[in-house]
Structure 1
């Protein structure tokens, strides 16, 4: 089973550490991923979350690119309604100029935060669902050489090849990605409900574009791998404790693993997390390989993007290594 494999990171802050440690670990993660043959590493935009360090992915992308040589780096994603398309074109045009042929621009329509914070970000400007496609059109125009005669131009973005990706977890994103002829990344690592339906619709209705001639579907999953089943499930408790914050509507740091989640979560919370994190693979190389094969049989993904929240950096490195061994 050979398929491109990549990473998604949120620079989650560990309990007992600060954002500086999170950024150092993200850089080490990018360097390790590069050594292990990972195609790309993306950072996600989030706001007003005390233990999520990726509030400014544009800056972190530059930091990681400076410390690596060839791995592609990008956003998974930039929440476009929070920003002017002109600003995003200028920022990613700058990144692509500094690091040629290494920058991806993944785009989402969600705010990446609560509504009160979204209002603060957007200074009272409220965008409807219908306005996102218009913002996307504007962004593509700023990158286009055809924008030469426009009164508003994005330098140094104009004419640069910065591939765009649409992100989503619903049918609406699948519809737009297929219509625009763009690669589509599905957030199955926390919202798997429409995964199969969206994948099929996207492939069946894809319209070729200048950027993408054939459909390209990326599925994001959680992977916690180790050399024994017991260790993998032990390490996964850090991930479960962080996911618990999502269920409770708050932000938790990445905590040390525990022997048991009993007494930490309630039965309804455990059930909600198991449902939300259905696309989560925990185990050894031997047990995960058939699970991956079954997943690809069902989803037909062109690329697997991995989220790996493990407290110990060395254990996380080993998990990424095992995943690469399975997928390479």
Structure 2
């Protein structure tokens, strides 16, 4: 058992979808995300990842590699990456070239998290489609990117990704089910668990990944399993303040559950929520958000420690939303102070 499994205060990271609050422009949202990335860098968080989404209305995270470059240019030590690049939307050669270039720019601070979901609706996915989402095609694409970025690509490759050669792009596999766990284990890569919105199989997925991990895979980049678990976070000075702030996230997921997406909404009281969100929709949103830590700094630390003990996670990646971007930075500061291993 690694030291991370014995100690609950594992490294903490941040997942960002570059959301627009009501009244924001796309430029505003991107600026707010860069401010949050700089705060995370200053406060000692491990990595800052951007999630790829398209035609989703009020998210500005479609050009993931560009966001990574911008954030890496504005920070000094934090790792910056994708959580993730949705591989069906991309040609693997282009991904290898993009991330090889990012590593040429920023050195060993870049992560390539890879997923199989389209990150959008079926119609948009057809316009984006470049690679099959089938497991066999995903495995083949990752193997190809591994060869293109290796220190000594084998002779006879029909195509080279010269800018990526020798960068050995650090890769993660994203997933929420045992299917994603199987792919991560078969490839010998770290596994990032999307439990922040799909908590229904995440414990089974983590267990499957650890039991079937193949350290001797040709694509392996680690010697033993490594898991990063995604957690929804809302932190405030008091439990009551945090619960009010959590209503912003609850409203967002109610929109996801009904398909009526809207910009990030301001916090609302329980009475106001009851008027806006039907009980059945709220129950569904609450279930999707079941992997969460909400409360004062002391409350949140205890909840995160419980999640680490339950999952034996090597790292946590936090998904946090706030109507006011300053509240997101404040949340990062509160947690950094409370967690103790940051800064």
Structure 2-normalised TM-score? 0.92
Map residues 208-223 of structure 1 onto 2, 5 A cutoff.
208-209=215-216, 210-223=220-233
2:301 matched to 1:289? yes
2:322 matched to 1:315? no
Please name the residue that 1:274 is paired with.
286
Please name the residue that 1:298 is paired with.
310
Please name the residue that 1:258 is paired with.
268
SS in 1 for 2:118: coil
User: 1:133 and 1:161 mapped to 2: Cα distance?
Assistant: 17
- Structure 2, unaligned runs of 5 or more: 1-7
Please name the residue that 2:147 is paired with.
141
- 1:131 offset after TM fit, Å? 1.6
User: 1:41 and 1:254 mapped to 2: Cα distance?
Assistant: 20
Please name the residue that 1:110 is paired with.
117
Aligned partners of 1:41 and 1:74 also within 8 Å: yes
Map residues 29-48 of structure 1 onto 2, 5 A cutoff.
29-48=36-55
Measured against aligned partners, the alpha-carbon deviations of 1:13-40 in whole angstroms (never above 9, x if no partner) come to: 1110111001101110010001111000
Aligned partners of 1:90 and 1:154 also within 8 Å: yes
Measured against aligned partners, the alpha-carbon deviations of 1:290-309 in whole angstroms (never above 9, x if no partner) come to: 22222111111000000110
Aligned partners of 1:101 and 1:161 also within 8 Å: no
User: 1:53 and 1:103 mapped to 2: Cα distance?
Assistant: 20
Measured against aligned partners, the alpha-carbon deviations of 1:44-80 in whole angstroms (never above 9, x if no partner) come to: 1111111010011111111111111111100000001
User: 1:99 and 1:56 mapped to 2: Cα distance?
Assistant: 18
2:37 matched to 1:27? no
Q: Which moved further from structure 2: 51-60 or 312-321?
A: 312-321
User: 2:76 and 2:300 mapped to 1: Cα distance?
Assistant: 30
SS in 2 for 1:263: helix
Measured against aligned partners, the alpha-carbon deviations of 1:216-263 in whole angstroms (never above 9, x if no partner) come to: 100001100001111111111111111122101243211111123111
- 1:120 offset after TM fit, Å? 1.2
Measured against aligned partners, the alpha-carbon deviations of 1:168-219 in whole angstroms (never above 9, x if no partner) come to: 0010110111111100000000001111111111112211154101111000
Please name the residue that 2:3 is paired with.
none
User: 2:133 and 2:221 mapped to 1: Cα distance?
Assistant: 27
The aligned length equals 327
Please name the residue that 1:203 is paired with.
210
User: 1:71 and 1:122 mapped to 2: Cα distance?
Assistant: 31
2:137 matched to 1:131? yes
- 1:143 offset after TM fit, Å? 1.1
Map residues 87-98 of structure 1 onto 2, 5 A cutoff.
87-98=94-105
Map residues 211-250 of structure 1 onto 2, 5 A cutoff.
211-250=221-260
